[in-house]
Amino acid sequence: MDAHARLLLTSLVLTGLLSHTTSTITHGNCEKSGQCTYIVRVRPPPNFSAEKSPTSLENWYRSFLPPGMATSELRSPFIHTYTEAIIGFAVRLTKDEVEYVKKKDGVLKVYQDDILPLLTTHTPDFLGLRPNGGAWNSFGMGEGSIIGLLDTGIDFAHTSFNDDGMATPPAKWRGSCKFEGVKCNKKLIGARSLIGGQNSEPPMDDVGHGTHTASTAAGRFVEGASVLGNGNGTAAGMAPRAHIAMYQVCDELGCYNSDVLAGMEAAIADGVDILSISLGGPTQPFHEDILAIGAFSAMQKGIFVSCSAGNSGPFSSSVSNEAPWILTVGASTMDRQMKAIVKLGDGRLFVGESAYQPSNLASLPLVFKLDGSGNITGKVVACEIEGPLVENGQTIKDGGGAGMIILGTEDSGNTTFAAAHVLPASYVNSPDGAVIRKYIESSKKPTASIIFNGTSLGTIPAPVVAYFSSRGPSTASPGILKPDIIGPGVNVIAAWPFQVGPKTVDKHDKVFNSMSGTSMSTPHLSGIAAIIKSAHSDWSPAAIKSAIMTTAYVIYDNKKPILDEKLNPAGHFTIGAGHVNPYKVTNPGLIYDIDEQQYISYLCGLDYTDSEVEIITHQKGACNKGKKIAEAELNYPSIAVWASTGKLLVNRTVTNVGDARSSYTVDIDMPNEIKATVSPTRLEFTKAKEMKTFVVSLSWDSSKTKHAEGSFKWVSGQHVVRSPIVIF
C-alpha cells in the first residue's frame, strides 16, 4: 500500500464512487519549501506521570529537535503536541532535519504525515427506535453520554442540534466552545478546529459530512425533515439525548493524520465517552496506524471507539480500522426507496433511485456519455459514475443534458444511491444497467423517460449489504474477524448545513441530505454505543462492543440469511457478527470482556518488536513481563482461524450481566465437516458479574476444508449470546 495515503472521509457522496485503488492520494503534508509534516513518537520524560506541566513537556519535546529549531523563542515550532493520544508531537521538518530527529535517543518512530480519506429521517424507525415504545423507552436515549466526532465541523445553528429539554453536560466534561458569533448549547457541548494546529476558528462545516454524521449519532427530533421533499418524516439520531462534541480535523480533501491525532488528543482530554470516526486509510500494521494507536490510548481511558470499515468493497481483505480495540462498522441498506423509474423506448421499466424528484422527464433521445464528445443537448445521458454523484450530474447539466441515468457498475450488484441531484436523474442497479446498456447499443433510436414515483418504505429484503462496504479478512490481524458489525449506510437522510446546499432548499432550519458510505453507518453505531453507556456507565469499551456483537441479527424475519449486494447470503467477512439490533444491545445477558493487559498480550503474540508494542501501549518491555497470546485467544466475541491449521482449541470467558441466577446452554451451528465442541455445555450463574470460562474446540481436515462458517450461542430463557466462527 502507498505509504503516502491520506485518510479520506468514508462517505461516497464526497469521495465519489472511486474504486479501492484510487482512494489514496499520493502527496503527503508537504510545503513547497521542502518541509513536510512529521509525527514524532517519543518516550515520555522521566517521571512523566508525576508532572503534567505543558511547558516542561514542550521543553522535553524541543529537546528532540535540531538545535536551531529547539531554541527558537519566537513561537512554538510544533503544529501539535500530544500527551493523551500519544506521547509526541507534529512538526514540519526538512529531509536533513528529519534524519537528525530519527537518530535522537528516545525517538520511537517518525511518521510522515499522510492524508486519510473521509471515507436520518428513517433509520431510527427501521432499527426499532420509536419515541413511543421500543428500545428508546426501555433504555433511554443516551442521557448523560458524550459522543465526540472527528469530522469536517458542524452547522451550529441546525435544528437537529437544538437543546430544548437537554440536561446540562456531566460534571466530568472539560471541553470548551468559545467563539464569537456562534454558540454551543447543552446538545452541542464542545466544538474545536484542529486543522493545521491549535486554532481559534469555530469549526463551521463547509463540507456537510460532519453535520450529517453528528446528527446521525445524536441529532434531536425534527419533524417534517426531508431531502427536497423526499423521505419525509421525523428525523432523529440514534441517541437523541446524548451530548455532542465536534473536533474538526478534515476538510473536503480528507484529514491529515497529525490533525486526526490532535482531535483524539482533545477528545480524550475533554472526557468524551464515545469517539465516532468516519474516516480511514488503507490497512497497516497497528504500530504504523496512527488511528489505531490513538484509539488504544482512548480505550485505556475507557472511551469506546467506533470507526468505518471503509468503502473499498466488495473486494476481499479491503477492511481498514481493524484493531480489536476498535468497533469496525460496515454498511447496509434499509427498507426505503426514493423511486425514479426509467422507461425505455421499448416500454421496459427499471426502478432506480433519486432524492431529487421533479416532474417526470418526457421521452428523449438516450445516449452514452462518450468522453465529453458528442452533442448531449436535450438528451438523456447514460453513464457510469465518475466521481461524486451530484457533480457528475452538474457536468451533464452544464453540457446541456436534460437527464441522467447512472448505470451501476458491474461490482455494485443491487446497491443503488439516491442523491439530491441537480437534474432529472435515476441511479439504476448493475443488472438493470447492463440491460439498458444493451438497449442503447442495439437500438437505432434509443429513448428514455424518467418517472418519479416518490418515497416508499417496506422494501424487502432489507438490510442488504452495500457493495462498497469493505470486507475481511483483516490484513493487519487475520485472526480477528472483521468487520465487527453492519448498520445503515446507504441513502441515510440526516442534517446538512444550509450554506452547503442542496441549493434549492430555502428553510435554514430544516436542511437534510441523503448520503451513503461507511461514514454513515459508523455514527449509527456510535449513537447506539452511547445508549449502552448511559444504561451501563461501568461497562468497558470491550463490554459495549460485545453487547453490540452478540445481539446482532443475521437472518431476516422470514429466517433467510442477510444478503449481500449480489443477493448471495452474506458471509462473516462481509457482515461480521451481523446487523446491529438496538432492541437487544443494552441487555445482552453475557459479555466477553477484554482488559488492557490482554490486548498487550495479544500485541506481543503478533510478534511485534518491543518498541513496536511500546509505540502502541506506552509500556516498555511489556512482552518480557507479560505473556504472549495468539490472536484466537483474545477474549473476542467472534472467532477467525486459518483453515490450514486443521484445529483450534481456545478458552473464552463470559461475565454475567443478566439476572444473578441464570443458566445458559450452548448451541453450536457448524457445517458437518467441522468437528466442534464447547465445554462445558452448560453455564450456571448465581451472582451478578460472575465469570465463567469455557473451551471451544474445533477440528477439520485441512486438506479438504478451505472455508467454513458457523457460530456458537449461549442460550437462556431470555438471551441468545451469539459468536460467529469463520475458518478460512
Binding site for ligand NAG (CB under 6 A): 46-47, 50, 223-224, 232-234, 339, 341, 349, 351, 375, 377-378, 414, 429, 431-432, 453, 461, 567, 651, 693, 695
- Considering the complex, what minimum distance in angstroms separates the CB of residue 264 from ligand NAG? 28
- Considering the complex, what minimum distance in angstroms separates the CB of residue 2 from ligand NAG? 35
**Nearest 5°: CA angle at 63, between 59 and 68?**
105
CA distance 325 to 595: 10
Strand partners, 555: 561
Pick from 387, 460, 324, 404: nearest CA to 19: 387
* Residue tagged active-site, from 226, 276, 477, 519: 519
- Considering the complex, what minimum distance in angstroms separates the CB of residue 702 from ligand NAG? 21
- Comparing CB distances to ligand NAG, the nearer of 360 and 453 is 453
Cell triple for residue 153? Answer: 465541523
Q: How many CB atoms sit inside 10 A of residue 49's CB?
A: 6
* Residue tagged active-site, from 80, 122, 209, 243: 209
- Comparing CB distances to ligand NAG, the nearer of 157 and 451 is 451
Q: Which sign, positive or negative, has the C-alpha torsion 391, 258, 304, 157?
A: negative
- Considering the complex, what minimum distance in angstroms separates the CB of residue 605 from ligand NAG? 12
* Residue tagged active-site, from 151, 270, 273, 432: 151
Do 110 and 98 touch, CB atoms closer than 8 A? yes
- Considering the complex, what minimum distance in angstroms separates the CB of residue 28 from ligand NAG? 36
10 Å CB burial of residue 285 (0-12, 13-18, 19+) is middle
10 Å CB burial of residue 501 (0-12, 13-18, 19+) is middle
Active site residue 519: yes
- Comparing CB distances to ligand NAG, the nearer of 400 and 671 is 400
SS3 content of the chain, % helix, strand, coil (to 5): 25, 30, 45
Cis ω before 463 (30° cut-off from 0): yes
Active site residue 701: no
- Considering the complex, what minimum distance in angstroms separates the CB of residue 225 from ligand NAG? 7
- Considering the complex, what minimum distance in angstroms separates the CB of residue 713 from ligand NAG? 20
Residues contacting 551, CB < 8 A, separation 6+: 581, 584, 585, 588, 720, 721, 722
- Comparing CB distances to ligand NAG, the nearer of 183 and 348 is 348
Pick from 175, 173, 179: nearest CA to 156: 179
Cell triple for residue 196? Answer: 493545521
- Considering the complex, what minimum distance in angstroms separates the CB of residue 547 from ligand NAG? 24
Active site residue 2: no
CA distance 93 to 100: 10
Pick from 308, 150, 228, 309: nearest CA to 514: 228
CA distance 378 to 359: 16
- Comparing CB distances to ligand NAG, the nearer of 204 and 666 is 666
- Comparing CB distances to ligand NAG, the nearer of 378 and 671 is 378
Cell triple for residue 110? Answer: 517518525
CA distance 307 to 291: 9
- Comparing CB distances to ligand NAG, the nearer of 61 and 539 is 61
- Comparing CB distances to ligand NAG, the nearer of 387 and 454 is 454
Length of the chain: 728
Q: Which sign, positive or negative, has the C-alpha torsion 254, 311, 408, 225?
A: negative
Amino acid at 90: A
Catalytic center residues: 151, 209, 519
